[in-house]
Amino acid sequence: MATSLPSVAIPGQRLGSVAAYAAGPGTHIQQANIYASIAGPVVVDPAPPKTQSKSTLRVSRVIPAPSRGTLSGTSQKPRYNTLPAIDSIVLARVTRVQKRQATVSILVVLDESAANSDPSKSASDNDNVASILTSAANPENHSNTDELRFQALIRKEDVRAVEKDRVVMDEMFRVGDIVRGSVISLGDQSFYYLTTARNDLGVVMARSDAGNMMFPASWKEMRDPVTGVGEPRKVARPF
């Protein structure tokens, strides 16, 4: 049965029986058969050895991209359709800082698969340079772009793991900072909830008051390389 698997599938195409495989992402089950629900390459993930479970059949959303040297090459399209899910790692821009919370706008949802492999080799849905270039790059003055992005909140108690009660939001984030966070809840109708309470989470990019890119100086300070002035932040540990 495994031999009859197609290399690519289109929605509604029968892939195999539930007796032989478990249904993975990009598929659905109908009458004891696994069908593709998106168009893409068919992938079989072998079950971990020594377990009784079956191999998982899935249809990949990602076109395998062995090399990505040129930018002007193939005209692939943007995919905004990686939704933030619980435990997703996201990169977001701070849009508002209040006493009890910071509002951020999610720019990139990092693929889970990308997190444990070399990030430069993975090609997630967000990884289409050619596509990003077709749409406006949102400098802060484009008001309507934030409406196209998923919004999230970082509550005061989710900023860091230690000394939670001494957190002052103004000393953690500034508007315009890029923050790496992890989704803890899908939240209400308008916001996701993020946490930065881990060493590898927090501000990854920030500009100083003088307008220069700063570098991380410690877990709670970033510094302007030109003026030498330090500014407080909840800094993510650099790689």
Partner 1 sequence: MATPTASAVPAAPPSLSLPPSQFARLQPHAYLLAHLSPPPASNQPSIRANGRAPAQFRVTSANSGSLTHTNGSAVVRVGDTTAVCGVRAEILHTDDIASWSVSQASSGNTHKRRRLGDLGGKPTEESDDTYADAQDDEDRAHIQDLNLLVPNLSLSTGCAPGFTPGAPPSSLAQSLSHQILSLLHTSRLVRADDLRIWYQPPNLGREDLERHNEDEAMDVDAGPGAAGLSKPREIKAFWVLYIDVMIISLAGNPFDAAWASVLAALRDTKLPKAWWDIDNETILCSDDVSQARKLSLRGFPIASSFCVFDADAAAAYRAVVIPKADEPKRRGFKQTWILADPDGYEEGLSQERACLVVDKESNGQGKTVIVKMEKHGGWIIDTEDLRQLVSMSAQRWDEMKQILEQC
Partner 2 sequence: MNDRRRVNGPPGGTRPPVFQSGLQSSNPSDRPRRQRQPAELRKIFLKTGLIPSASGSAYLEFEPSASLAANRSNPKSMIPPSSALKLTCTVHGPKPLPRSAAYSPNLVLTTHVKYAPFAARRRKGHVRDSSERDLGVHLETALRGAIIAERWPKSGLDITITILEAEDDRWWGEPPDSHDASWGIMNVLAGCITAASAAIADARIDCLDLVAGGVAAITEDVGASHSGSGRLMLDTDPAEHASILSACVVAYMPARDEITELWLKGDSSKAVLDDGDSRQGHDALIDGAVDAARGSYSVLSEAVKESILNAVAHA
* Cβ atoms of 182 and 92 closer than 8 Å: no
Q: Which is nearer to partner 1, 101 or 126 (CB)?
A: 126
Nearest one of 221, 95, 207, 88 to 153, comparing CA atoms:
95
Tell me how crowded residue 238 is: count the other CB atoms within 10 A of its CB: 8
165 vs 151: CA distance, rounded Å: 25
Does 188 interact with partner 2 (rule: CB under 8 A)? yes
Site for partner 1 in 129-148 (CB under 8 A): 129-130, 132-139, 142, 144-145, 147-148
CB of residue 193 vs partner 1: minimum separation in angstroms? 21
Task: Give the one residue of 14, 54, 155, 207 binding partner 1; rule: CB under 8 A.
Answer: 207
Nearer of residues 17 and 37 to partner 2, judged by Cβ = 37
H helical segments located in the chain: 112-116, 129-134
Alpha carbon distance 107, 178 (integer Å): 9
β-strand 151-155 against 192-195: which pairing, if any?
parallel
> Strand, helix or coil at 87?
coil
**Looking only at residues 107 through 136 of this chain, which bind partner 2 when binding is defined by CB under 8 A?**
123, 125, 130-131, 134-135
34 or 194, CB closer to partner 1?
194
Which residues are at the interface with partner 1 (CB under 8 A)?
68, 70-72, 75, 80, 91, 93, 107-108, 119-120, 122, 126-130, 132-139, 142, 144-145, 147-148, 178, 204-205, 207, 210-213, 215-216, 225-227, 238-239
